[in-house]
Amino acid sequence: MAQFRMTTILLFVGLSLCFEFAQSELKCMDSPCMTSAECMSSCCYIYQPNGMGTCVDYMYKSCFGPDNGNQCYSSDGCNSGCCKISQPLEYARCVPKLEGQKCLGQEDGDLCYTSEECKSGCCHSRAISWMVPTCVPKRNKNECFGSDYGDLCYLSMQCKSGCCRKNTCKLFAETGRCARRAAEDEFCTKMIHFQVNQHCQCEDGLTCDNSAPGTQRGFCKKPASANKCL
């Protein structure tokens, strides 16, 4: 009986140590991550495709892969091996891989976010309002979705700058161009939209002074010299 009790105690201690070790391997808040499984909070938020994410509070922002239903930027980031965009202008999600189903990939016909993902160098959609972009043979760079300044975009997260700016003055324009962040004394917006924006956020070290009631537009100012009356 004493031997059995000792064995039980040792087993319990061993399991406890294993659990503590596993917990210690998980990353703390604000640590870099690629999937939510790496974080103690079970939430990794990634702002740009193929970029490093940050462990955040589970209720704070949308969480990324690798389980079905989680948001994703590549099929490699999903346990199922399939990251799929269901509709334009939305995040892709990990889904069960079905025969004949299109997933995010590199070959012509595969779904895509940016042209950098495609072997052809072109991610394109002829009718962005209803058709999900796919990798296509490269014909005209101006037709391809990219991430550098001036490249076509339909989501701000596609751009290295984090800002997809409207092509025209149309209020509900669905596509834009990747634009640089606003410099000092240039128009800016603090409310960065998921899709396209009328103006971009400020460069690092500047704040968007948009305290005027009823508007989200302002001017980029250095914090110490920000004008509070637009």
Residues 23-44: pLDDT tens digits?
458 899 888 887 888 899 888 8
- The per-residue pLDDT for range 83-93, each reduced to its tens digit, is 998 876 677 89
Cis bond before residue 96 (omega within 30° of 0): no
For the chain, where do the domains classified as CATH 2.10.80.10 start and end?
146-230
**What local confidence, expressed as pLDDT, does residue 230 receive?**
43
> Would you identify the CATH topology of the domain 146-230?
Lipase, subunit A (2.10.80)
Locus of tokens 């993902």:
117
Count of residues in the chain = 230
Q: Is the pLDDT of residue 98 over 80?
A: yes
Please give the Cα distance from 90 to 85 (Å, whole number).
Answer: 7
Q: What CATH number is given for 31-102 in this structure?
A: 2.10.80
Q: Which stretches of 56-206 are assigned E, i.e. beta strand?
A: 71-72, 83-84, 92-94, 123-124, 134-135, 152-153, 164-166, 176-178, 187-189
The single residue listed with the structure tokens 């490093």 is 52
Structure tokens at 109: 């016909």
Bigger pLDDT: 191 vs 135: 135
Query: From CA 24, how far away is CA 18, in angstroms rounded?
Result: 10
Question: What mean pLDDT do residues 40-60 have?
Answer: 79
The Cα-based distances of 66 to 50, 83, 94, 136, 153 in angstroms read 14, 9, 7, 27, 26
Sheet harboring 83-84: ordered strands across? Answer: 71-72, 92-94, 83-84
Kindly give, in sequence order, each residue whose CB lies less than 8 Å from that of residue 85, ignoring residues fewer than 6 positions away. Answer: 91, 92, 104, 111, 113, 132, 133
pLDDT in tens, 118-130: 999 999 876 555 5
The pTM assigned to this predicted structure is 0.65
89: left (phi over 0), alpha (psi -120 to 50) or beta: left
| Residue 229 φ then ψ, to 5° | -125, 95
